[in-house]
Structure 1
């Protein structure tokens, strides 16, 4: 075959090659199509490739195949490049029987399951420079499936390198890679020995690897650990914020596909603090907050105390916390166990108390934090009362209406007697809140009186009577609230409330007298029973 240089090829702007058009077009369907009508022309032709897979080095490898009459040694070292070039240049052969580079490389790739771990890694790294052909041709997926399959099977203390002793064998042998072998001898590396091998890969390749691992049922907790390791390692290697943003978004997107219960909550918060400093997309932020919010009951107060973003006056990022709580509740509080809800409620009580002294925190945001969780999640509102007390002290300039709005976050029925007593004397709270606290205490005491003043008989044990007296004694503290009600400046329409409160005080005193009489009569009856030494008789009812 005569050789001439009548075709000029510019490869990705890296290098210009002068080749024989006739020789190259004999093996390349793409070149043949481009210049099939220019056979009679004597002038030099030119073609420019801007997306040639592998660049100038790959083109040179292809020309060796063409000038060597379709012969080249194919190995794991060059098969990826040759396969992608064969796809790009349409080197599929023809009816004339010329050598088919695509077919030769496909046969070589059928042996991929017998490659060593190191050979597979090298092939994957080469594919980074062969994009997008490496993905569209399917060769990269073939490598990833082989790698993820070995990771899935590496729970045993064996190497990821399959035996090459026979084509039929699918067993494993010890690796010739010293580092991998030593790592696998240590049980702590059984699930993580492969982490470092993939740190240099682009996020797009990592995403493909993760999808393949999940299809092979690799443990989600191991996958999540790898993603956090990858993010940390890559951040140490890259310099620009654009690259960090790209890595963060890719990692968050992959974490979002995992079971949230198997993703480390501590690592998620660490990633959140990092993500706050990069210009991430809204989608990335939502995915990360959803992951964290789903496990909010594992958080601590320190986790939530994240400084507010630049440009805001708040001390802490309360908007972020509100979004996390919203993510935690998700479809509704009824879908979550009460124990988890109450853990978050306790956490929010601590958080509200922490942000209450912030002079820049608006009352609407403060109230939103209090009402972020349903009322049923809190056993007591004493913590919220204390936080509101601090907030009203710091924000002394609030109007009466604004104070009432803030106090609407209180459930007076879930305040302890001590808290109610303190509230009625607290001048920082509006008078209407003090009245509501008194009403709540009245309802509680009325319920208690009804229970204690029930009909009883001497068949009841002395302990039950003592308990009844104890309840009455316990309500003595309520008298102070009732007495204090007389000192309040209550409007005319609340005179009925005053009468009820006075009547309640009278009933408490009467109840104490009845209990004392019951105790004396019970003691007399017990003495007469011992002296008579006879069967117990029915005793008359003392009260009705």
Structure 2
């Protein structure tokens, strides 16, 4: 059976999708029926019988199918199904013990390894140019096996470009690719993950990808860092480089990054003080939740400077929340000028913060009442002392005036009975001495 008859048979089995456009619905229609499902099942059975015979024959047939204008996603499904039959690991399911494909690979280890390498390189070469035609999960499994058998660097680079394009659709389990390099002793391929993240960030910067993909990748990176942090062979520079590969604005919260760094410091006990400081600078204390901030404030593995920053950030959040609450109670509407991160608290966090604020206000009011009471007592004591002092002065002055009046009265009596006039003697300026009596004249 030549290539043309093979292509005719293929199109006959897929006539519901590949016949002329004026007789059948559009190929872009997503509606499916039991008839379509049965045809899809029949096509898989036909692929099992015909396409697995020879990979070169499959490549020629696939070229003919592409020439007939078949949709790229359908071509991608054909490739993934065919590749999964040759390499059961690519299907994502445990291999069947009675699969006939395993019998064809039951050769020497070297021959099986070479055949697997040639097959993966061939599959990568026939992938459709449209990057969305192949699922990201299949590409990651293909990349994992490509690293395992050591395919050529150009094929691995092509796979990495395709995976980086759809990295936001990957899962953590699929990204945990073991390290097959003899030069490195880490458990997982951290350098591969770093290359994928950098490529994805470049696509975002160039504007080729938009949407919420960066936020998903940031969460994946934080979760990946938390997993590889327990590996004692992961060096600090590559850990920090991967953590810093994601832009800071892509992280809505730094709880995941804090958990990864704390796990790394717990595992790598020989990290110096300066290295701890450089590592903890990656954490934005203002993006930590209340639970993470409480944990960080009591974490002995963190530098003192980082703990102080966390405490100041929590105080600033509390002050901002208090101002926001006051403005809300006054204007009956939230203050739009407040930072969105300060307003994105859960109801539980808001209730906790309000209870803490009320408790602090009560303590402050109680303290002010005690101070006022103490000041009032001091004022009363001072007023009583002043009253006693003025009463004593009045009593002293009245006694003095009475004694002076008595002396003046006595002197006036003496003056009236005296013979001559009395002339007071003037002493020094400002002082009056008591006048002396003159002797009676004898002349």
TM-score interval (norm. to shorter): 0.5 to 0.7
Give 1:326's aligned residue.
198
Give 1:268's aligned residue.
139
Q: Give the 3 Å change call, closer, same or farther, for CA 151–383 of structure 1 in structure 2.
A: same
| 2:189 equivalent among 314, 317, 327 | 317
| 1:372 equivalent among 245, 254, 267 | 245
Residue 155 in structure 1 maps to residue 3 in structure 2: no
Give 2:153's aligned residue.
282
Separation of aligned partners in 2, 1:508 and 1:451: 22
Q: Give the 3 Å change call, closer, same or farther, for CA 454–232 of structure 1 in structure 2.
A: closer
* Greater gyration radius: 2
TM-score for the superposition, normalised by structure 1: 0.50
| 1:187 equivalent among 39, 45, 54 | 39
Residue 427 in structure 1 maps to residue 306 in structure 2: no
Q: Secondary structure of 1:387's match?
A: helix
Separation of aligned partners in 1, 2:217 and 2:323: 35
Give 2:164's aligned residue.
293
User: Residues 140 and 175 of structure 2 are in contact (CA less than 8 Å); yes or no, is this contact kept in structure 1?
Assistant: no
Q: CA deviation at 1:318?
A: 1.2
Task: Note the aligned Cα RMSD (angstroms).
Answer: 3.8
Q: Give the 3 Å change call, closer, same or farther, for CA 439–258 of structure 1 in structure 2.
A: same
Q: Give the 3 Å change call, closer, same or farther, for CA 420–187 of structure 1 in structure 2.
A: same
Separation of aligned partners in 2, 1:455 and 1:284: 59
Q: CA deviation at 1:432?
A: 1.6
Residue 198 in structure 1 maps to residue 47 in structure 2: no
Write out per-residue CA displacement over residues 4-55 of structure 1, whole angstroms, 9 at most, x where no aligned residue.
Answer: xxxxxxxxxxxxxxxxxxxxxxxxxxxxxxxxxxxxxxxxxxxxxxxxxxxx
Residue 353 in structure 1 maps to residue 205 in structure 2: no
Q: Structure 1 stretches of 5 or more lacking a match?
A: 1-121, 125-142, 161-170, 172-182, 462-469, 481-504, 514-544
Q: CA deviation at 1:478?
A: 8.3
Q: Give the 3 Å change call, closer, same or farther, for CA 416–185 of structure 1 in structure 2.
A: closer
User: Greater share of helix residues, 1 or 2?
Assistant: 2
| 1:386 equivalent among 259, 267, 277 | 259
Q: CA deviation at 1:506?
A: 8.3
Separation of aligned partners in 2, 1:448 and 1:408: 25
Q: CA deviation at 1:194?
A: 4.5
Please give the residue correspondences for 1:394-473 in structure 2 after superposition, counting only pairs within 5 Å: 394-454=267-327
User: Residues 167 and 200 of structure 2 are in contact (CA less than 8 Å); yes or no, is this contact kept in structure 1?
Assistant: yes
Q: Structure 2 stretches of 5 or more lacking a match?
A: 24-34, 88-100, 334-348, 369-443
Q: Secondary structure of 1:331's match?
A: helix
| 1:216 equivalent among 50, 65, 68 | 68
Give 1:227's aligned residue.
79
Separation of aligned partners in 1, 2:39 and 2:351: 65
Give 1:123's aligned residue.
2
Q: Secondary structure of 1:332's match?
A: helix
Q: CA deviation at 1:381?
A: 0.8
Residue 259 in structure 1 maps to residue 94 in structure 2: no
Total equivalences in the alignment: 315
User: Residues 472 and 508 of structure 1 are in contact (CA less than 8 Å); yes or no, is this contact kept in structure 2?
Assistant: no
Separation of aligned partners in 2, 1:296 and 1:286: 15
